[in-house]
Amino acid sequence: MNDAAMALLIKCKQEAQAGVDYSPRDGAICPWCGCKAKIYRTMPWVGGVRVRYHRCHESGCAMHALNITIKSVQEDPTI
Ligand SMILES: [Zn+2]
């Protein structure tokens, strides 16, 4: 893996861990491959924010290959 790919991988991993935006229509998008990541855990609403945990199931995706959990954050716009 070259330096650019490594830097991108680290960036995507950090995004996945920090939390990507959750869209009610599109769900959470895998920061590596851009596919919709499947939910495996949904947390309750806490203070207008709901956290979900996802995994990307695309074969060939680095997030999938490395078994990296993608966190998503949904905010209630009415709060
Ligand atoms: Zn992916």
Give the pLDDT confidence score for residue 1 in this predicted structure: 81
Compute, in angstroms, the gap from residue 68 CA to the centroid of ligand 1. 10
Q: DSSP secondary-structure letter at 35?
A: P
The 3-state DSSP class for residue 37 equals strand
Compute, in angstroms, the gap from residue 46 CA to the centroid of ligand 1. 27
Gyration radius of the chain's alpha carbons: 13
Interval 47-79: pLDDT, tens: 999 999 999 999 999 999 999 999 999 999 887
Compute, in angstroms, the gap from residue 62 CA to the centroid of ligand 1. 7
Interval 10-52: pLDDT, tens: 999 999 999 999 999 999 999 999 999 999 999 999 999 999 9
Q: Which two tokens stand for residue 5?
A: 């790919």
Domain chopping of the chain, boundaries: 3-75
Q: What are the backbone angles phi and psi of residue 31, rounded to the nearest 5°? A: -65, -20
Give the pLDDT confidence score for residue 37 in this predicted structure: 98
Compute, in angstroms, the gap from residue 7 CA to the centroid of ligand 1. 16
Compute, in angstroms, the gap from residue 12 CA to the centroid of ligand 1. 10
